[in-house]
A and B are shown apart, each in its own frame.
Chain A
Amino acid sequence: MNKITTIKEVIKHIKNEDTIMIGGFMGNGAPPTLIDAVIEKGIKDITLISSDTATIDYKTGKLIRDKRVKKLYASHIGLNKETGRQMTDGELDVELVPQGTLVERIRAAGFGLGGILTTTGVGTRVEQDKQKLTVEGVEYLLETPLHADVALINAKRADKSGNLQYQGSMVNFNAMMAAAAKTTIVEVDEIVENGEMDPNLVVTPGVFVDHIVKRGENDE
């Protein structure tokens, strides 16, 4: 299967009311071209799962700014005042999830688990309406998987099989999101032939990746 495609083709996989995961942390490691394509196509009523909402005119912040998101799962929204305003005014439904729990819920969805147990959030508002389990004398919250229709992720380099390598701190949520969605689309700087990437140094195996677009080349 040829995974290499164009923005124009790949955007057909995303529709209104989809649950979309977008990688990155304060925009670092979020896929800029894919986010812009979602904006341009007018996709709306999104359920967005992301570490944060960056800042108002940057990366995932643009989706909030343009009111494309109806429900948000994130760990931190403090650096995007518009997200806070929409939440306070009842325009946006926000579920704040501790960051470590957020990535584990994504991992659980990708890796076939029914949930994870964590002590994070015990004794806080996070435990409300959640099942508690005691294991070896310690009380844990049962946190359930977060699935998605589409994951939009970002990497430095892909080979034609979709094996990925990242740069700097840009791997963050991308690696787990790649596994957790029905369709995973990655935006990269560079695509190499199979065999050119050392299999020992692959971070995300290509089995999780459905479509690859190269930044700057597939804009039309």
Chain B
Amino acid sequence: MNKDEMHTLIAKRVAYELEDQSLVNLGIGLPTKAASYIPRDIKVTFQSENGFVGLRGLKDDETNDGTIVNAGGQPVGIEKGGAFFDSATSFGIIRGGYVDCTILGALQVDKNGNIANYMIPGKMVPGMGGAMDLLEGAKKVIVAMQHTAKGNPKILNECNLPLTASQAVDLIVTEMGVIEVSD
């Protein structure tokens, strides 16, 4: 499998974990792909942490006027019945426990459900964005990632990168399998 095939496999598999009538937040990158593979018999609503519920992709004939973007700054649309709000309300929804599930990428996850996904000291410091709040507030946290990075394991006994949150991850989905984090 090449990288694209792996990502598609992971996205398809992780989409099966979503529950009918749930509010879901997808991280940038691989997790966003899951939106294309939601089973037809369930209805999921997406929350975008920059300030709305009802996120959807642009339709083919839809013009992009730049007024609605997703958490990666890419143009998107909003479903009928959706709503815009400010960032304080958005993170109130997140920390307040109204997001049923979040799917995030990760650099490392360990056996205690600790997750590192916002910096590699001295190398890469993109920042945590909304990830720390999502990990604290979402009812269920799913990590969707490749099993290894250039041959190095990403699922460890103990993370050695700075943590984004401790004991937060419920499920890990990779191209190798699905792992439940338990006590």
The answer to whether A and B come from one shared complex is yes
Which A residues contact B (CB, under 8 angstroms)? 25-28, 51-52, 54-55, 74-79, 84, 87-88, 94, 96, 98-101, 103-104, 107, 118-126, 166-176, 203
A171–B69 alpha-carbon span in the complex (Å): 12
Closest to B92 in A: A100
A-B contact pairs, 21 of them (CB 8 A): A25-B69, A51-B50, A75-B128, A75-B129, A75-B130, A84-B125, A88-B125, A99-B130, A104-B91, A118-B136, A119-B95, A121-B132, A123-B163, A124-B163, A125-B162, A169-B50, A171-B84, A171-B86, A171-B87, A173-B86, A175-B86
Interface assignment of B19: CB less than 8 Å from any CB of chain A: no
Contact B162–A124 (Cβ < 8 Å): yes
A55–B126 alpha-carbon span in the complex (Å): 12
Within 8 A of A (CB), among B134-173: 136-137, 162-167
Within 8 A of A (CB), among B31-76: 48-52, 65-69, 71-73
Interface assignment of B81: CB less than 8 Å from any CB of chain A: no
Which B residues contact A (CB, under 8 angstroms)? 48-52, 65-69, 71-73, 78, 84-88, 90-91, 94-95, 118, 122, 124-133, 136-137, 162-167
Most buried by B among A52, A96, A166: A96
Most buried by A among B66, B84, B162: B84
A26 / chain B contacts, CB cutoff of 8 Å: 50, 69, 72-73
Contact A88–B132 (Cβ < 8 Å): no
The contact of A84 among B90, B94, B124, B128, by CB within 8 Å, is: B124
Given A25-B69, A76-B128, does the pair A174, B86 have CB atoms closer than 8 Å? yes
Measured between C-beta atoms, what is the minimum distance from A72 to chain B in Å? 10
A183–B136 alpha-carbon span in the complex (Å): 34
A27–B69 alpha-carbon span in the complex (Å): 10
Measured between C-beta atoms, what is the minimum distance from B31 to chain A in Å? 15
The contact of B91 among A79, A100, A174, by CB within 8 Å, is: A100
Measured between C-beta atoms, what is the minimum distance from B15 to chain A in Å? 24
B167 / chain A contacts, CB cutoff of 8 Å: 123
Closest to B50 in A: A25
Contact A169–B68 (Cβ < 8 Å): yes
A120–B163 alpha-carbon span in the complex (Å): 12
A78–B166 alpha-carbon span in the complex (Å): 22
Contact B91–A170 (Cβ < 8 Å): no
Measured between C-beta atoms, what is the minimum distance from A199 to chain B in Å? 18
The contact of B88 among A78, A107, A170, by CB within 8 Å, is: A107
The contact of B127 among A54, A77, A118, A166, by CB within 8 Å, is: A77
Closest to B129 in A: A76
A55 / chain B contacts, CB cutoff of 8 Å: 73
Contact A100–B86 (Cβ < 8 Å): no
A104 / chain B contacts, CB cutoff of 8 Å: 88, 91
B118 / chain A contacts, CB cutoff of 8 Å: 96
Given A103-B91, A171-B85, does the pair A28, B166 have CB atoms closer than 8 Å? no
A119 / chain B contacts, CB cutoff of 8 Å: 95, 136
Closest to A125 in B: B162
B90 / chain A contacts, CB cutoff of 8 Å: 100, 172
Contact B86–A169 (Cβ < 8 Å): no
Contact A74–B94 (Cβ < 8 Å): no
A76 / chain B contacts, CB cutoff of 8 Å: 126-129
The contact of A169 among B84, B128, B136, by CB within 8 Å, is: B84
